[in-house]
Amino acid sequence: MASLGTSVASQDILVKMLLKKVIEKEEEYILQYIKLKKLYPLCKNLPIKTEFEKLLEIRRLNLEFKLQTKEKQHSALFKILEYLNNLEEKTKKLDIQEILQKMSLLENEIGKLQNIINS
């Protein structure tokens, strides 16, 4: 029988692999959307236009959902930051720096998604 530590370590590896796959899938969806958007003008007069539009709309909705999720995460982190600013603890500065970094990353991702959706 494996020890608890071994079990947790193997689960951590599994979680990291799954997270990596999710991130790769999200990046794939973004690239697909960009490519579909570029190809759309070429298929306006083809019989597959409606199917193409459906696929493009599905990808756009996926990206908008991702954008909304990241905006909610950003808002939640902002609320946590406000809370931490009210605390008088020595470790507060480290927590604030971590959250500011996460917020900055989210802002970059939000900007990218907004540019992709609006381009």
66, 113 contact by CB (below 8 A): yes
pTM recorded for the entire structure:
0.64
* Residue type at position 94: L
90, 54 contact by CB (below 8 A): no
100-118 pLDDT per residue, tens: 999 999 999 999 999 999 9
44-74 pLDDT per residue, tens: 788 888 888 898 999 999 999 999 999 999 9
CB atoms within 10 A of CB 39: 11
List, in sequence order, every beta strand (DSSP E) within 1-119: none
* Bigger pLDDT: 90 vs 57: 57
- At residue 109, the 3 state secondary structure works out as helix
Domains of the chain, residue spans:
4-118
Q: Measuring CA to CA, how many Å separate 117 from each of 28, 30, 35, 65, 107?
A: 15, 9, 12, 11, 15
CB atoms within 10 A of CB 33: 20
25-36 pLDDT per residue, tens: 989 989 999 998
